[in-house]
A = this chain, B = another copy of it.
């Protein structure tokens, strides 16, 4: 926390996004945001994508306010109000007089996603994680990890996972319902991730409404919850702990596909993937075929953008192939977040069967790895 005058104090933090490899889809309690199943995610490094939030408390403020991506968010911000009032309750019950005092002050919040707007990248997870983390720093509630994860959950379900770095599991039956790390960021240092930003994304049904519709209408979702996902969570945990890429990749792809199958079994059906997403899936399977092993995995959330996983040893080769198929801008501008070495992909492209129709269907790609949870970036933080 910055050492302002006691009458006004502020704190700035950043928080990461996370990508689920075992998907969360469906709530048992819409208000409390309790999921129907456990999910597992990887927290991505914050070199290129993060939410940055500054929270200020001051005796001068007469009301709470929040500015999200340069726009005032007021009125209907129910979830924001929920988060804020819950964190105040936590602060008010503190043993520390200073925390109790601060809980009485009004708060001004400015939050900004640094990732490209309109890219269709989910921002609510990093956004609420950052909000909760920043307020916790300001109110000196950092030690209440479980309560904070539960609070972030009330803002946006998957935000509870973004409070932790590394490999994270969100438990649907825990009390309170929270996420906890499976392994830290450094556990699997070879793991790499490409976030492919697909061109021409079209508006789709939001995930809150979408999952509610699935719970009501998809008979297959019931089966997934009761009979599939429990075992998959355990298998995924083992694959991560053992750094078994082939198993990790298979489970990741199968769970992404099953999630989108549930969307299609929903009535009326939900389409989040588009023809580019399909082409990416088909390329990954064909690539794994010519490599005679599972070297790359895909996963898709409630949108057409692909997240691709591979190990460091495969990164430059696959990236060049991917760029050859989907990129229409130079290699060095197509990959962001980290400089990659271009590799001659002529032979691979020939083996895969060239398809010029795909050119330009991916705008660009962000290169990531598994990273840390939220952090305070104030000079004195």
Chain A residues engaging chain B, CB cutoff 8 angstroms: 219-220, 223-224, 227-228, 250, 253-254, 257-258, 260-262, 264-269, 271, 274-275, 278, 281-282, 285
Question: Which residues from B are CB-within-8-Å of A265?
Answer: 220, 254, 257-258, 261
Extra contacts besides A268-B281, A268-B285 (17): CB < 8 Å:
A219-B228, A219-B258, A220-B220, A220-B228, A220-B261, A220-B265, A250-B267, A254-B267, A257-B264, A257-B266, A257-B267, A257-B269, A258-B264, A260-B264, A261-B262, A269-B281, A274-B278
A274–B274 Cα distance when bound, in Å, is 8
Closest Cβ neighbor of A258 among chain B residues:
B265
A223–B264 Cα distance when bound, in Å, is 16
Copy total for this chain: 2
Task: Give the contacting residue for A220; candidates B258, B267, B278; CB below 8 A.
Answer: B258
A282–B224 Cα distance when bound, in Å, is 25
Closest Cβ neighbor of A355 among chain B residues:
B202
Closest Cβ neighbor of A266 among chain B residues:
B257
Question: Which residues from B are CB-within-8-Å of A266?
Answer: 257
A250–B253 Cα distance when bound, in Å, is 30
Closest Cβ neighbor of A279 among chain B residues:
B271
Among A269, A275, A285, residue most surrounded by chain B Cβ atoms (within 10 Å): A269
Question: Which residues from B are CB-within-8-Å of A258?
Answer: 219-220, 264-265
A253–B269 Cα distance when bound, in Å, is 9
A220–B264 Cα distance when bound, in Å, is 12
Among A264, A274, A278, residue most surrounded by chain B Cβ atoms (within 10 Å): A264
A275–B220 Cα distance when bound, in Å, is 23
A265–B264 Cα distance when bound, in Å, is 10
